[in-house]
Structure 1
C-alpha cells in the first residue's frame, strides 16, 4: 500500500507533530516544577490587568457586527497604554525580545498589512511590536469569547460571520470604507490564510482583504526556537498543551520582517483573486516557501469530520484545485463527505466492500471495476479526495452523456489491452438500450448518478476480472 502523503505533516498544512528530544523532555519536566508555574501566574495577572484596561477602553463603545465607530481623542491616549500592557503579557509568556527586520510602511502607503504564515496564537505579538497599534478583521465567534472578546473589541476590529453571506459582504464594505478614511482608522492587519497552519507552506489566500484594491505590505512572522511549541493546527497538540510547553521554554525567539509594499496594477485592482494569488507568489518567492493547494475549506472539512468520528487529517481534498477542476463549491464537497464518512467512519479509508455498501449493492465484478476507476493509487483503498475526483470525474460525465471522457477513463483505469473494440461496442450497445426508469441498477442502487454507469459497465464477457 502506498503512503498517502496528503495526510502527513510534510504536505498537509493542518498537521503538526511536537517531537521532543531527551534533553527537551527533561527541560519541560524541570521547568514544570519550578519556573513555568511562576511565569503562568504573572501571565494571568498581567492579562487580567490588560483585560481591565480593555474593559474601560470599550465602555459605552457600541461596536457591533453591523456598526463600527472610530475612537475619540481620550480613547486614543489609552490606546498606547493598552499596547504596553499587551507587550508585557507577551514578555511573561517568554517573548522577551522580538527581532524586527525591514520597515513598517505608513497607513497612507500601505493601508493593509498581510501577515503570514499564520501558525500560532502568539501571532498576536504583531499588534504590540510597533506604534500605532493596528486593527484587524476577525470572525464574530472570537468577539463572543470571554476575556479575549473584550481585548478584541479594544482594537476596533471588523467582525465577520463566515457562514453568513450578508455578513461577509458587509465586512468587505466596512473594509473599503476604512480604506477611504486612513486618517480616521488604524492600519489594518489581516491573516489571508484564514486559519493556522504548520507554516511549511502558504495555503490559498482569501480574496476579501484584496477587494479594496489598495497597496498591501506583506509581513512575515517567524519562531526560531528548536522546540516548536507554538504551531497550533487542527491535527496536533491542543492550545493549552502548547501554551504550557511554551512556558517551559527559557525564552521565545520571535522575528517579524516587513517586506516591500506590493502595489497592485490595474488588472489586480479589478480582480481580487488574481491580486491575492500574486501577493502569495511574491511572498513565496521571497521566502523560498512553497505554495500549497490547500485552503481554509480543507480546514473546515477537518472540523466537520469530527462529527462522524472520522480522522480529520483524512478529510482534506486540496480544495482550490478540486474546486477549480470540477467547478465545485464547499457545500457540494461537504455533501459528498457526509455520504463518504457515514460509511467509512473511523477507518478513514474506503474499501470495495464499503463502496458497495454506499451504493446499496453487492460486490460484483462491475462494482469492482468502478471501484478501480476511483482507486488511482491501485492500493485497494479510496481516500476521500479520490472519491471526490472519481464521483465528479468518472461518474457524472457518464450521467451527463459525456461518453468520450468516460470511455477514456475506463480504458486508462482498467488497463485494457485486449478487446477494447469489443468493450466499446458493448458499451455503445448498452447506451442504445439503457433506460434509467427500468434497469435493475436504478431500482437497487441508492445513487442514481452511478446507476446508469454501472448498467453500462456490466458485461461479463468484456469487463476485466
Structure 2
C-alpha cells in the first residue's frame, strides 16, 4: 500500500511535467503533433512501469472508436498504439483548465458542454470537420470513469454523432488501467490490455446498446480469465 502511494505521487509529478512538455512540443512542431503524442504515450509506459498488450486489430475503416473508461491511462495507452490521429471528445471543464487545457486546444481535440443543447450542434459540426481531415473520433460513452463491474449506461452523444455523420464504429475494451486509482491515490504495477472488437452494425437502431452488451461480455470474459 505504501509503495503504491509513493508510486502514485511520483507518477503524478511526472505526468504533470509531461503534460507541460507535450503541449510545448506540440506547439513547437505543429506538423508533427500526432508523432509527439505517440512518443508521449510511450514515455508514460516507461515511467509508469506497466506493460501493454493489444488483442486484435484496429480496423482502418473505423472513423470513431468507443471505449470503457477506468482511468486516464486509457487515453495514454491509446495515444501510444493507435495508428491514426485520434480526436478525443472531452468535457469542457478539462479544456478550461489553465495550461493543462492546452492539451485539448493545441491538437484540436473537441470539448463539449454536456448540459448545453447548443453545444451539441457545435459538437456535430466539429466532429464532421475532424473526420473530413482523416482523424478518428474517440469517445467514452459512459461519460465518466467507472470502477464497477458493470458498464455505466451509455450516453447518447456518440450515437447522435455517428448517425448524423454515418460513421463506422469500432468498440474497444480496455482492462487493467485501473492500476491507477486517483480516488485512493494508488498506482500499482500491472498489465493493461486493449481488446479490439469488430465494427458495429450501425444499421440497427439499437447499435449503441448492442455495442455496450458486447463490451460488457468481453469485460466479463476477461475477469473470468484473470480469476482462474
Shorter chain as denominator, the TM-score bin is 0.7 to 0.9
Question: CA 1:30 to 1:49, structure 2 compared with 1: closer, same or farther past 3 Å?
Answer: closer
Match of 2:123 in 1: 171
CA distance in 1: counterparts of 2:176 and 2:94, whole angstroms: 24
Any conservation in 2 of the 1:198–1:231 contact (CA below 8 Å)? no
CA distance in 2: counterparts of 1:30 and 1:156, whole angstroms: 37
Q: Which has the higher strand share?
A: 2
CA distance in 2: counterparts of 1:30 and 1:178, whole angstroms: 42
Match of 2:226 in 1: none
CA distance in 2: counterparts of 1:192 and 1:141, whole angstroms: 17
Any conservation in 2 of the 1:53–1:82 contact (CA below 8 Å)? yes
Any conservation in 2 of the 1:83–1:133 contact (CA below 8 Å)? no
1:391-448 CA-partner distances (Å, limit 9, x unpaired): xxxxxxxxxxxxxxxxxxxxxxxxxxxxxxxxxxxxxxxxxxxxxxxxxxxxxxxxxx
CA distance in 1: counterparts of 2:156 and 2:208, whole angstroms: 6
SS of match in other structure, 1:146: coil
Match of 2:44 in 1: 89
Moved over 6 A (4+): none
Any conservation in 2 of the 1:172–1:208 contact (CA below 8 Å)? no
1:79 correspondence with 2:48: no
Alignment of 1:53-452 (within 5 A): 53-58=22-27, 75-95=30-50, 97-106=51-60, 109-116=61-68, 118-124=69-75, 125-179=77-131, 181=132, 184-211=133-160, 212-213=162-163, 214-223=167-176, 229-231=179-181, 238=183, 241-242=184-185, 245-246=186-187, 249=188, 251-265=189-203, 267-268=204-205, 274-288=206-220
Q: How far did residue 231 of structure 1 move?
A: 4.8
Q: How far did residue 186 of structure 1 move?
A: 1.8
Question: CA 1:115 to 1:174, structure 2 compared with 1: closer, same or farther past 3 Å?
Answer: same
1:51 correspondence with 2:20: yes
1:359-394 CA-partner distances (Å, limit 9, x unpaired): xxxxxxxxxxxxxxxxxxxxxxxxxxxxxxxxxxxx
CA distance in 1: counterparts of 2:142 and 2:85, whole angstroms: 21
1:312-368 CA-partner distances (Å, limit 9, x unpaired): xxxxxxxxxxxxxxxxxxxxxxxxxxxxxxxxxxxxxxxxxxxxxxxxxxxxxxxxx
Match of 1:36 in 2: 7
Unaligned runs of 5+ in 1: 1-27, 60-73, 233-237, 269-273, 290-465
TM-score, reference length from structure 2: 0.80
Greater relative contact order (Cα 8 A, min sep 6): structure 1 or 2?
2
CA distance in 1: counterparts of 2:45 and 2:98, whole angstroms: 19
1:62-117 CA-partner distances (Å, limit 9, x unpaired): xxxxxxxxxxxx6232431332123212421232x2111000111xx11001111x
Q: How far did residue 55 of structure 1 move?
A: 3.1
Any conservation in 1 of the 2:154–2:209 contact (CA below 8 Å)? yes
Q: How far did residue 210 of structure 1 move?
A: 1.9
Unaligned runs of 5+ in 2: 222-228
Any conservation in 2 of the 1:119–1:199 contact (CA below 8 Å)? no
> Which protein is bigger by CA-based radius of gyration?
1
1:265-287 CA-partner distances (Å, limit 9, x unpaired): 1x53xxxxx33222212323444
TM-score, reference length from structure 1: 0.42
Any conservation in 2 of the 1:123–1:221 contact (CA below 8 Å)? yes
Question: CA 1:286 to 1:119, structure 2 compared with 1: closer, same or farther past 3 Å?
Answer: closer
1:224-248 CA-partner distances (Å, limit 9, x unpaired): 8xxx65356xxxxx2xx42xx20xx
Question: CA 1:136 to 1:105, structure 2 compared with 1: closer, same or farther past 3 Å?
Answer: same
